[in-house]
């Protein structure tokens, strides 16, 4: 099975041999790929929507992987038991929905070592939530597919402080690792903010914050340095 660039980047962060859950599995492509390629032996594939889970079940049966992939209908992490999996993938949904899943399954989330997130929007809100709730962002990635950018955020339990707001907007690891798509993504973000600015009246109080954000993004994009101690891992 061939995965899209987005899905292939997500599975890159799955350690070999772990117990894994794919939350919101949709067609079941990720679990099938992981098992067929010998990355994991067993996966729990879940979905809240019976139609999506039914499609996943059909694909899993077609590939002869019914014994390796356990399908469960249910909401978020609630279908899992404590310590049942080491890694959970939550991809292809909004950042606010991901936050809701983590909040409602907080006791289960505490027992999962690694999360691989791919928020479709509101990645800044997800980063803020993660750091506030005692996670650290250990890896990030960017994918461009059909002229759309996708952010992948890998988080584990730990401590990390972000002392400059711009790093909620642009993941700190993307900057640290000088991601090859970083400049292009920054230009895209700056244009989006500029479009908002262009529609605001001159006296609008939001203008100052947005103009400041653009300046900081420009600094990141053109090799400048953010203020000292803006990043601090613990």
User: Topology of 1-158 in CATH?
Assistant: Rossmann fold (3.40.50)
3-state DSSP call for residue 198? helix
Q: Where are the domains of the chain?
A: 1-158, 161-234
**pTM (predicted TM-score):** 0.92
CATH class of segment(s) 161-234: mainly alpha
Per-residue pLDDT of the chain (234 residues), as tens digits, is 789 999 999 999 999 999 999 999 999 999 999 999 999 999 999 999 999 999 999 999 999 999 999 999 999 999 999 999 999 999 999 999 999 999 999 999 999 999 999 999 999 999 999 999 999 999 999 999 999 999 999 999 999 988 788 999 999 899 999 999 999 999 999 999 999 999 998 888 889 899 999 999 998 877 554 444 444 554
Question: Which residues, in sequence order, are CB contacts of 137 under 8 Å at separation 6+?
Answer: 127, 130, 131, 153, 154, 155, 160, 171, 172, 173
């Amino acid at each position: 099975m061939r995965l899209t660039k987005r899905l292939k980047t997500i599975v890159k962060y799955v350690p070999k041999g772990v117990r894994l859950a794919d939350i919101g599995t949709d067609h079941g492509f990720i679990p099938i790929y992981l098992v067929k390629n010998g990355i994991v032996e067993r996966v729990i594939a879940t979905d809240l929507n019976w139609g999506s889970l039914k499609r996943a079940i059909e694909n899993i049966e077609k590939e002869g992987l019914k014994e390796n992939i356990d399908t469960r209908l249910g909401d978020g992490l609630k279908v899992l038991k404590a310590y049942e999996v080491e890694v959970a993938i939550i991809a292809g949904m909004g950042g606010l929905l991901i936050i809701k899943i983590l909040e409602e399954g907080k006791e289960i989330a505490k027992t999962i070592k690694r999360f691989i997130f791919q928020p479709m929007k509101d990645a800044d809100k997800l980063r803020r939530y993660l750091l506030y709730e005692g996670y650290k962002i250990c890896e990030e990635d960017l994918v461009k597919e059909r002229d759309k950018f996708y952010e992948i955020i890998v988080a584990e339990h730990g401590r990390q402080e972000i002392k400059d707001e711009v790093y909620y907007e642009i993941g700190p690891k993307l900057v640290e690792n000088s991601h090859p798509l970083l400049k292009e993504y920054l230009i895209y973000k700056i244009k989006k903010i500029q479009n908002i600015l262009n529609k605001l009246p001159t006296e609008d109080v939001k203008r100052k914050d947005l103009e400041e954000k653009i300046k900081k993004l420009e600094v990141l994009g053109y090799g400048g340095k953010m203020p000292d101690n803006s990043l601090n891992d613990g």
